[in-house]
Amino acid sequence: MKKKMADRIFSTDTDAGTITVLESQEGTFKEIEKIFVGNGPRGPVVFTKHGRGFVTNHAGNTVSEIDPFNNIEVAKIKVGSAPLGMGLIPGDKYLLVSNDGDNNISVIDITKRKELGQISVGREPKHMEIHPTKPYAYVCIWGAHMVSKINIQALLDKDIDIIPNEVCVENSIFLGKDAHPYSLRITPCGNYIIVANNQAEYITVIEEKTGKIVKNIDVGTKGARGVEFSPLGDTAFVSIEDASEILVIDLKTFEIVDRMESGPGPRGMLVHENTLFASAFARVKKVAGVLTTPNTLSALSYGNEMSLQTFKKKVRPEVTEINVGAGPCSISLFTFDD
């Protein structure tokens, strides 16, 4: 008999110091547990293929390991000051953690729950992503307005006690004065990097192979935070916190094809079965004069199709709000055998 697969969404609630666990029940997600980690958790929970979960505690200078099967915190790992972004190296042995307050990245051996050392990267590193097929990590360097490319070849399926010298910044791509990049994603084809610049009125598109900027997409407002992709990989979503909207971008032309309203102050996003979830981070109940509901996940459902044509036709989604903890900033998904 085939096992039933269960989907759980994990909301990182910065102000509450919790991870809210939601499980799919009768077509919607309902809260089943809150995991207390404390100290300002930030960023999505990162999961190994066997279900070990990790999340940074920005105010606690630690990374919490959580058990998604029993919904508990099982350990804390000491890292640098104000940890924020993470990237799990293929092989599920090493974890990169950006230390916003120390201007470096920690390399963690998660089998030993131990920091092996740190890599200098520049002022205020934020979120990052590991390339799916190449030995590189890309990280947003907020204070220097650039994206740095880190060579991680020596960490792939290796057993090391200290960080080799070759694990270092190989290239840095300047995005423009006062860009302040916050997060980035590598497109599903692996050819481009979409960068959410939080203090510039444009989103940057970088060609991964050359490191060259191919386009700055005019947004018309500041506040870009998160990047996500549609199931078909033909569109990108970018959350605009200051405007409480989500942009839809055609990944062939890099043009904005739609702008969708969301909950107040959207940051992290997740796409699951033709539904886009966006965290409503705002600490106020009124945005642009309109009463809204913070501390929720906005679920924008597109039914049977979520494609570029859907957005070009300006199809409006069915929107529901899911209550989570205070200050939700990021969302992640874990699927396991029930």
pTM: 0.94
Judged against a pLDDT cut of 50, whether residue 1 lies above it is answered with: no
pLDDT given at position 81: 97
Q: Report the pLDDT averaged over residues 186-190.
A: 97
Q: Report the pLDDT averaged over residues 307-324.
A: 93
Amino acid at 124: E
The domain locations on the chain are: 37-222
285 vs 324 pLDDT, higher one: 324
pLDDT given at position 334: 94
Count how many residues are written for the chain: 338
CA 274 to chain centre: 18
The CATH number for 37-222, chosen from 3.30.565.10, 2.130.10.10, 1.10.10.10, 2.60.40.2140, is 2.130.10.10
Judged against a pLDDT cut of 70, whether residue 328 lies above it is answered with: yes
DSSP string covering 91-106, please? TSSEEEEEETTTTEEE
CA pseudo-torsion sign 288, 290, 295, 300? negative
Q: Report the pLDDT averaged over residues 278-296.
A: 73
Amino acid at 183: S
Mean pLDDT estimate for the chain: 93
Contact 73, 39 (CB under 8 A): no
